[in-house]
């Protein structure tokens, strides 16, 4: 899938545009890693975040971390060398193609699992605890990752290239997207019917569903251009498809930008995550301040012990000089008294 897209970029000498593109990808890597690691750290630190729904969100964050650590670095090298790096190492290119498919499929399938979980929570609020247990949530997450691994392994098998592009587009994007639309349509209809009957707790579930819906919208906006181009190249034999060469890196940037958006969306729209991020930040700042204060107090203690009051060799010359000045003053006073007596 990536080979079809990246192979259509002409190779020229490395210029300023390649450097700017690689810097932008590097920023995406840093933002994606830091943001998703903060989500995982908050989940590990605070007990109130350890809910069934957040299990799927953490699985999504792990997929985004995998994108930033295994897929984005190859695209960074590809941009920096003007599309020559992956051509030089075909084995690495196959690995990058497989990891790109694995991470992307894992992300969208985790979003599907989140929508299924929220659908049960809102349509069956009283029996939700019996329907979605911790064990069933873990089994569902494992099935999501096995599905993504299967889609990535199918990339290695030799079969018609056009057929594979249709297959991966259907089962990694369009079919899961259809499930998402069905799940959230059902959530909206049931929420509108039962909101007044359930009360505050139900409103909390509705807010969580809205947050996940925003995440899905951002995911679709980031991934849809990429799969449109994939289908365009799949039918390029029958229908001429010649997109601008600038569109290829833009679609890849949008694809990887999705891995940076999830933590930002949680911070802006989810009060529980926003409060957890604030607490985590304050806790880290206190630790840094405490360490800085401890280091300063240790330095002051060492300085005072080295230059204590009992060790004042530098003050002795001043004392002797003061005694000497006092002696000279006494001699002068006695001489002046003698002169006065002689005159009288």
Using one digit for the tens of pLDDT, what is the confidence trace for 41-80? 999 998 888 888 889 989 989 999 999 999 899 888 888 8
Q: Give the span between the Cα atoms of 125 and 207, in whole angstroms.
A: 14
Which whole number is the average pLDDT over 77-95?
81
DSSP secondary structure letters along 26-88? HHHHHHHHHHHHHHHHHHHH-GGG--HHHHHHHHHHHHHHHIIIIIHHHHHHHHHTTS-HHHH
Residue 11 confidence (pLDDT) above 60: no
Which whole number is the average pLDDT over 84-99?
82
Residue 226 confidence (pLDDT) above 80: yes
Residue 35 confidence (pLDDT) above 60: yes
pLDDT, one tens digit per residue, over 135-167 is 999 999 999 999 999 999 988 887 887 888 899
pTM (2 decimals)? 0.75
Q: Give the span between the Cα atoms of 220 and 115, in whole angstroms.
A: 14
Which whole number is the average pLDDT over 290-310?
58
Residue 310 confidence (pLDDT) above 70: no
Mean pLDDT (the chain, rounded):
78
Q: Give the span between the Cα atoms of 138 and 115, in whole angstroms.
A: 15
Which whole number is the average pLDDT over 230-246?
81
3-state helix, strand, coil in the chain (%, to 5): 85, 0, 15
pLDDT of residue 199: 61
Cβ burial 307-336 (10 Å sphere, 16+ → b, else e)? eeeeeeeeeeeeeeeeeeeeeeeeeeeeee
Residue that wins the pLDDT comparison between 185 and 148? 148
| Least trusted range by pLDDT, from 81-85, 196-200, 211-215 | 196-200
Based on its alpha-carbon atoms, the radius of gyration of the chain, rounded to whole angstroms, reads: 34
Taking a C-beta distance cutoff of 8 angstroms, is the pair 20, 88 a contact? no
Banded model confidence at residue 178, pLDDT cuts 50, 70, 90: very high
* Best CATH choice for the domain 2-269 from the list 3.30.465.10, 1.20.1070.10, 3.30.470.30, 3.40.50.1820: 1.20.1070.10
Residue 34 confidence (pLDDT) above 60: yes
Q: What are phi and psi of 266, to 5 degrees?
A: -60, -40
Banded model confidence at residue 341, pLDDT cuts 50, 70, 90: very low
């Amino acid at each position: 899938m990536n080979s079809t897209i990246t192979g259509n970029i002409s190779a020229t000498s490395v210029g300023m545009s390649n450097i700017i593109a690689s810097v932008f990808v590097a920023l995406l890597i840093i933002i994606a890693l830091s943001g998703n690691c903060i989500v995982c750290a908050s989940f590990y630190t605070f007990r109130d975040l350890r809910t069934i729904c957040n299990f799927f969100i953490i699985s999504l964050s792990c997929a985004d971390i995998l994108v930033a650590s295994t897929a984005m670095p190859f695209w960074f090298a590809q941009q920096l060398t003007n599309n020559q790096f992956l051509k030089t190492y075909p084995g690495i290119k196959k690995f990058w193609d497989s990891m790109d498919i694995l991470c992307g499929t894992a992300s969208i399938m985790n979003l599907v699992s989140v929508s299924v979980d929220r659908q049960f929570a809102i349509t069956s609020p009283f029996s939700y605890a019996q329907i979605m247990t911790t064990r069933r949530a873990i089994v569902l997450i494992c099935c999501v990752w096995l599905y993504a691994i299967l889609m990535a392994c199918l990339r290695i098998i030799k079969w018609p290239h056009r057929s594979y592009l249709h297959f991966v587009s259907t089962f990694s994007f369009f079919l899961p997207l259809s499930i998402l639309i069905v799940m959230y349509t059902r959530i909206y209809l049931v929420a509108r019917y039962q909101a007044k009957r359930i009360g505050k707790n139900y409103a909390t579930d509705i807010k969580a569903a809205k947050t996940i819906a925003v995440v899905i919208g951002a995911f679709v906006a980031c991934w849809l251009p990429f799969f449109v181009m994939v289908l365009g190249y799949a039918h390029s034999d029958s229908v001429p498809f010649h997109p601008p060469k600038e569109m290829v890196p833009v679609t890849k940037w949008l694809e990887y930008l999705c891995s940076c958006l999830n933590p930002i969306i949680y911070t802006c729209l989810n009060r529980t995550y926003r409060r957890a991020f604030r607490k985590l930040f304050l806790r880290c700042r206190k630790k840094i301040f405490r360490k800085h204060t401890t280091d300063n107090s240790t330095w002051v203690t060492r300085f005072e012990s080295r230059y204590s009051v009992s060790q004042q060799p530098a003050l002795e010359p001043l004392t002797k000089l003061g005694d000497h000045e006092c002696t000279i003053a006494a001699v002068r006073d006695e001489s002046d008294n003698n002169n006065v007596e002689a005159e009288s």
